[in-house]
Amino acid sequence: MTTFETMFGETLVKNDKSEFKTSELSTKKGGVVGVYFSAHWCPPCRGFTPEFAEIYNKIKAEDKDFEVVFVSSDRDETAFAEYHAEMPWLALPYDKRDKKEELSEKFGVEGIPTLALLDAETGETITSDGRTYISEFGAPGFPFSEEHITNLKKEVAEKKEKQLLEIAEDIKSFTKLAEIKDGSEVGDLTASEALAFGFFKGEGCRGSEAVIPSLVEAQTKLGSSKLAIVVVSVQGESGPDFSESQAEKLKSVPVIPKGEKADGVVKKFEPVLGKIEAPHVVIIDVRDPSSVKLLAEDAARDVYMMGTDAYPWSEAAIEAADEAKERKKLELKAKLKNFEVFEPSDTCHIVDKAKNPVALDHLTSKDIVGIYFSAHWCGPCRGFTPKLVEFYKKCQDEGKKFEVIFASSDRNQEEFDSYYEEMPWCTLDFKDRELKGILSEIFDVSGIPTLVLLKGNGEVITTDGTAKIGSECDLFADAA
């Protein structure tokens, strides 16, 4: 019995539902077998599968020894068959759930899509992160060996460095393309420590709506001597460049308008960054045109999530920020006792409906305090919030000592303000993003709505308060 027969069983299935003998999988030297964990219900999987299929077909067209086995996490056999029909490779039969579990454990699958790449000759794992290899290197990455990938990375780095030098030479021409709404002139973009090119879409792009204010706020905090910004509008031909709120944020920022000008800049950057999809923020240091440095290929998420703590959003800066955040998390976790974590400070502002500060003794005097992680854009949250409001008001009417602190996951101040109008309790000020993020980590908030219930001394009653509200259980007996 071959290694792959032991791994998959004696038979696999083709996408036309016909049978394939596992013993016919190639075991030739230089061949590669992929094990692809995926499911149709998973949006990232549906995004990656077409990309992967295109690259698979390119590799096969070059007559290279590559095969893939789909291992399904679909919820039923019908969904599995429909999804497999979109794929050009083999699959583990859906009814082999025991094999599916064995394979998931063998390759340490914690989420999907996951792609493990194996040496066809030995069955040994080349990498469990084949998805990254496929996305970064495509068909030229085959056979995905460490030596080949190392050489490929070197070639890619050299090409990027050459293209960056060209971009550095073009910075002055980019300045001529940019316009500033407030009428001021575009300064010397190479005078700052770091230069951010933000590729954004206009009205309707939620990602851009979230990242634009974060990037502008970062520049405001850091100063233009540390961070310069150029925005490239990649909106389609129809519709405005930016919404009113976006335009207001960008009124003092150089913007290269959509169309031919912006398209030219995108073409300059794509050899360095690959396909650019908004929101995308690249950070470069161009102060010395002879040694241009790429600080971050895409810092959009990190700018939004980490702010200036991770400036200039390079790998080293993010690692240092993560370490500092972990230290702060442990420090704040210890301060849960008697709600010291909510002591008024520069980073913590608990306010009531009238926007007055909430004193610490107001919280410690309660039998139960809930921290409500929620957002207006979240459908389940909008369904649960009225139930919590009803429970809260009932507690007030009955004289029960219950308080709630809203910890918002809304995307901007306007959404927060609108959603908070529906709530009768106090809130963590929307600007306290760092504290809200750390609280989410302390209580392992993996989805919303989440309601964490604490005793008046800060001791945790439950992190699943959403299941308790409206049930027959007596929360106040649990808090006693």
| Average pLDDT of the residues in 75-86 | 94
Same domain, 16 and 110: yes
Same domain, 278 and 256: yes
Same domain, 32 and 66: yes
Percentage with pLDDT > 90 across the chain: 67
Provide the pLDDT confidence category of residue 477 given band limits of 50, 70 and 90.
Answer: low
Given 319, 344, 359, the domain boundary residue is 319
Provide the pLDDT confidence category of residue 126 given band limits of 50, 70 and 90.
Answer: very high
Cβ(230)–Cβ(256) under 8 Å?
yes
Instruction: Express each pLDDT in 194-210 by its tens digit.
Output: 999 999 987 778 889 88
Helix %, strand %, coil % for the chain, to 5? 45, 20, 35
The predicted pLDDT at position 205 comes to: 84
Q: CA–CA separation, 378 vs 383, rounded Å?
A: 9
Given 125, 144, 163, the domain boundary residue is 144
Strand 280-285 with 194-200, pairing: antiparallel
- Tokens, residue 6: 């032991």
Instruction: Express each pLDDT in 172-230 by its tens digit.
Output: 888 888 888 877 888 888 889 999 999 998 777 888 988 999 999 999 999 999 999 99
Spell out where 189-279 has E strands: 194-200, 227-233, 255-256
> Residue 472: is its pLDDT beyond 70?
no
Report the mean per-residue pLDDT for the chain. 91
Instruction: Express each pLDDT in 101-122 by its tens digit.
Output: 999 999 999 899 999 999 999 9
> Residue 237: is its pLDDT beyond 70?
no
Same domain, 307 and 350: no
Given 121, 144, 167, the domain boundary residue is 144
In which domain, by residue range, is 188 found?
153-319
Same domain, 218 and 171: yes
Please indicate, yes or no, if residue 223 is contained in any of the structural domains: yes
Strand 19-21 with 114-119, pairing: unpaired
Please indicate, yes or no, if residue 268 is contained in any of the structural domains: yes
The predicted pLDDT at position 430 comes to: 94
Q: How many domains does the chain have?
A: 3
* CA 277 distance to own-chain centroid: 14
Same domain, 276 and 205: yes
Please indicate, yes or no, if residue 326 is contained in any of the structural domains: no
> Residue 473: is its pLDDT beyond 60?
no
Same domain, 167 and 315: yes
Cβ(374)–Cβ(466) under 8 Å?
no
Integer CA distances (angstroms), 381 to 10, 323, 376, 393, 430, in order:
47, 32, 7, 18, 17
**134 Cβ contact partners less than 8 Å away, ≥ 6 residues apart:** 51, 52, 55, 115, 141
Same domain, 288 and 346: no
Instruction: Express each pLDDT in 334-367 by its tens digit.
Output: 888 988 889 888 888 999 999 999 999 999 999 9
The predicted pLDDT at position 427 comes to: 97
The residue among 125, 136, 103, 100 whose CA lies nearest residue 33 is 125
Percentage with pLDDT > 70 across the chain: 97
Please indicate, yes or no, if residue 325 is contained in any of the structural domains: no
CB neighbour burial string for 62-99, b if at least 16 within 10 angstroms, e if fewer: eeebbbbbbbbbbeeeebbbebbeebebbbbbbebeee
The predicted pLDDT at position 247 comes to: 85
